[in-house]
Each structure stands twice: as C-alpha cells, then as structure tokens.
C-alpha cells in the first residue's frame, strides 16, 4: 500500500525548448504525501498504484507547423498521452491531455517527463498535476498466485464486516450517551468526526480495490 500523494507544478516563465527537448516543469506549487516528488524537469513516483496525470502546456512554435507534447515514463512514451496542434510561427497554442500511469508493486521508482516534438517553441505556461488514483493494485496484479489473491480478497471482506460491526456498536454507544447525558462534549465530538471521516475514506479505498478484483 502506498500513502495518498499528490503534486502540482507550474512554469510561467517563457522558455525556449528545442525539438525533442524536455519541457521544463517549473516550480513546485503543491505537494502532499511521500510517493511523488519534483526532481528537476521530472516528477518521480515511487509508490505502487495508478497515477492520474493532467498536463497543460502553452507553446508558440518558431516556425509554422505541428507541435506536440508527450508524456514520457522512464524514457518510454505513455500510450495515448500526447496532444498536438497546428500553429503559425509565433502563435501560441494550448496542448492538454490526461493520462493514467501504472506503477507496479516491485518497481523501484519511475520518472515522468514531458517532451516537445515537431518544432522548436517558446513554452510560456506549463501545469502538471499528478495525484494517486488508486493506492492499491488489484490483488491479482500484486501477486502471481490467484489462490493467494483470492485469500487476500476474502480476508479483506471479513475485515470490512468486522469494521461494520464495530461501527454499529460505536453508534449505539453514542446514542445511549445522548439519551442519558445529552450531547457529547464538543471537543470529543470533533475528534470523533475527524477520525470517522478518515476511516470512511480508507473504507472507500478498500471497497474500490475489492471491486477491481471482482471485475477482473
């Protein structure tokens, strides 16, 4: 399991980029978690899972023609992760596309970068957003043994049932407290609400993974 992570970078200083050159990602604007980091003109991902990638680039080619921005993972083009436009010399055009990148469970880490092709250009705006989409891989992707995958699925289902039973008991205790003593202290209720929300988010992640396993 990887921790929830996200990163947002932006570059707004006009920069000349040669054909087949790496597009600068600029500066770190927002970052959360330990699985994603900015390393020069690349975003490093280390946690296993699926990463949503949103790219927006504004370019003005030095000569009329087609300009293209492409997402690269460890030197290899991410299939479908590209955007192209025809533009007159010096005319800015916006290139934007989404992508979904998978980081396997045994990978040591990967680098995501953007490459410009077609024509040298002045890049005046770059925005890159990468949050973790699914922080777990499906059971049959994390192990090679289908029997073991099924066992993990069954165990998670049983643990979710335990969670529901415990949650029901907590709700009963709170209602009993209200009937005999009134509303719980505000500070205690605030802590409960905070922890409850975190557990609900975790439960959603687990149910999402269970659904992916069931759907193959």
Q: 13 — phi, psi (to 5°)?
A: -95, 120
What CATH number is given to the structural domain containing 125?
2.60.120.40
Cβ contact 8:116 at 8 Å: no
- 93 versus 144: which is more confidently predicted? 93
Same domain, 127 and 161: no
Q: What pLDDT does 105 receive?
A: 65
Residue 27's pLDDT band (cuts 50, 70, 90) = very high
Q: What pLDDT does 133 receive?
A: 56
Cβ contact 53:136 at 8 Å: no
Of 70, 6, 69, whose CA–CA distance to 38 is shortest? 6
Same domain, 128 and 151: no
Same domain, 112 and 176: no
How many structural domains is the chain composed of?
2
1 found inside a domain: no
Same domain, 196 and 158: yes
Same domain, 69 and 116: yes
Express each pLDDT in 161-207 by its tens digit: 999 999 999 999 999 999 999 998 888 888 888 888 888 888 887 88
Average pLDDT across the chain, whole number: 87
Q: Which domain holds residue 150?
A: 139-214
Q: Write down which residue in 74, 103, 134 finishes a domain.
A: 134
Residue at token pair 């920069």: 15
Express each pLDDT in 57-110 by its tens digit: 999 999 999 999 999 999 999 999 999 999 999 999 999 999 999 887 656 789
Residue 33's pLDDT band (cuts 50, 70, 90) = confident
111 found inside a domain: yes
Same domain, 144 and 82: no
Same domain, 101 and 126: yes
Q: What pLDDT does 216 receive?
A: 63
Residue at token pair 């922890």: 195
Same domain, 185 and 100: no
Q: What pLDDT does 107 receive?
A: 61
Q: 29 — phi, psi (to 5°)?
A: -100, -50
Mean pLDDT, to the nearest integer, of 124-143? 65
Q: Write down which residue in 83, 117, 134 finishes a domain.
A: 134
Q: Write down which residue in 88, 110, 134 finishes a domain.
A: 134
Residue 16's pLDDT band (cuts 50, 70, 90) = very high
Same domain, 121 and 24: yes
Assigned token pair, 113: 């970068």
């Amino acid at each position: 399991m990887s921790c929830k992570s996200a990163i947002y970078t932006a570059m707004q200083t006009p920069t000349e980029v040669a054909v087949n050159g790496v597009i600068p990602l600029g500066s770190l604007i927002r970052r959360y978690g330990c699985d994603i980091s900015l390393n020069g003109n690349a975003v490093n991902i280390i946690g296993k899972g699926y990463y949503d990638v949103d790219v927006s680039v504004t370019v003005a080619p030095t000569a009329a023609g087609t300009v293209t921005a492409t997402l690269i993972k460890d030197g290899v083009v991410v299939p479908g992760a590209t955007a192209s436009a025809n533009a007159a010399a010096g005319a800015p055009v916006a290139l934007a596309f989404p992508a979904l990148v998978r980081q396997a469970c045994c990978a040591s880490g990967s680098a995501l970068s953007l490459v410009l092709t077609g024509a040298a250009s002045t890049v005046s705006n770059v925005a890159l957003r990468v949050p973790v989409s699914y922080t777990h891989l499906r059971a049959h992707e994390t192990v090679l043994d289908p029997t073991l995958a099924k066992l993990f699925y069954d165990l998670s289902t049983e643990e979710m049932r335990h969670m529901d039973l415990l949650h029901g008991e907590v709700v009963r205790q709170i209602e009993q407290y209200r009937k005999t003593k009134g509303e719980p202290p505000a500070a205690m209720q605030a802590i409960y609400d905070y922890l409850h929300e975190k557990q609900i988010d975790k439960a959603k992640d687990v149910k999402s993974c269970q659904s992916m396993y069931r759907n193959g």
